[in-house]
Amino acid sequence: MKRNLRLNGALAAAGLCLMTAGAIAQQSGPIKIAATLPLSGGAANFGQAARNGADMALAEVNGAGGVLSRQVMMDVQDNRCNPTEAVKVVTQMLSDGGYSALFDGLCSSVVLASMPVVDRAQIPYMVATASATAISEKSGVGGSKWTFKFNPTDASMAAAMVSWLTEKGLADKIAFLGEDTDFGRSGGDGFKAALKARGKALLSEDYYQQGTADFSATLTKYRTSRPGVVGIYALASDQQNIVNQMQAFGVKVPLSGRVQTDSIAKELLESGFLDGTSAVQPYSPEIDTPKNQAFVAAFKAKYGSAPNSISYSAYESMRTLLDAIQRAGSTEPEKIRTALTQAKFPTLLGGEVSFDEYNLAHTFAVIFQIEGGKAKVVGLSKT
């Protein structure tokens, strides 16, 4: 009997030693952040832009000594902008444990599908770039206390865009064309709500499947209805296809909405075909604050080109997340979540990042317009 007691005591002591060693290793090893981005498929360019921004933030913080005197590493898995794939990837990563937070997702449908997985895992989720209004509606007091959204909602950006179009007398005949995803539908709803508040309505509303090759039916309709503006919510590859077919059909109508002006071919911009086109984004490298200009210079030196809104959002939101871990003094998820609710992180554009009761940050909406073959900032408003 005594021999068994001694054996059990020895095993317990050995187990305690192993647990203590594991805890020490966890406290002294790198802080791990899980991430899911589209690294293949039609949104791969956007996924790489987000990765560049996040990597730059990590490099800066790690170069300055890390967080809690530990280096931070990001494990990035490909979600292909596919909700089913994202759920599989996120479930696998979070079931393995060892992560202090989940970062981004980029595509709105991916984020919405991942939120229940995050709630079950009870881990902070920093959404950097997805814009669907439903994400914030379902976060904080709306449901998920673990999800925090950095990027402005489609509703707030659509409101800023429609306000500008109204000021310019361009809001009376807006046709809407969006991808049939949470991103596209959210954009359409945002335009409709903003127009309704002004006693107006969309001229027409059309949605398409990502990767659609032929837009002839929609463009034929535009020849008859003659919209003054086409509000567009599309991936860069689809946007390029739509513009190319507009040229071929001779449908010269200014675009608006979430136009990716930085992904438009230089020769197309210089042709003047898109003059009059406007766009709303959460960022511009042209914004002349000292912090932003330093960021732009460093980004150009590292990647050879200026940051776009996706790179910016990934950079700024990753810095906000790392600041929360530092202030929490811990990698425990609940302590990090609490620190995020108390965030007041200085932004590159001025002011501070803080989250409202829906865990939504209120940043900026930047209005662009293409004139003379160049996209220029023509407006800036807080969302």
In the chain, the amino acid numbered 192 is K
Nearest to 298 by CA among 50, 45, 57: 57
Confidence of residue 260 (pLDDT cuts 50, 70, 90): confident
Q: What's the CA gap between 113 and 94, in Å, rounded?
A: 14
Question: What dotted CATH number matches 155-281?
Answer: 3.40.50.2300
The pLDDT of residue 109: 95
CATH class for the domain made up of 30-152+287-364: alpha beta
* Greatest Cα pair distance in the chain: 95
Q: What pTM does this model have?
A: 0.83
* Phi/psi at 315 (5° precision): -65, -50
pLDDT tens column, 199-213: 999 999 999 999 999
Q: What's the CA gap between 102 and 172, in Å, rounded?
A: 42
Q: What's the CA gap between 103 and 180, in Å, rounded?
A: 25
Confidence of residue 27 (pLDDT cuts 50, 70, 90): low
Q: Where are the domains of the chain?
A: 30-152+287-364, 155-281
pLDDT tens column, 155-188: 999 999 999 999 999 999 999 999 999 999 999 9
Same fold, 30-152+287-364 and 155-281: yes
pLDDT tens column, 291-316: 999 999 999 999 999 999 999 999 99
Tell me, letter by letter, the H, E, C secondary structure of 307-341.
CCHHHHHHHHHHHHHHHHHHHHCCCCHHHHHHHHH
Confidence of residue 382 (pLDDT cuts 50, 70, 90): confident
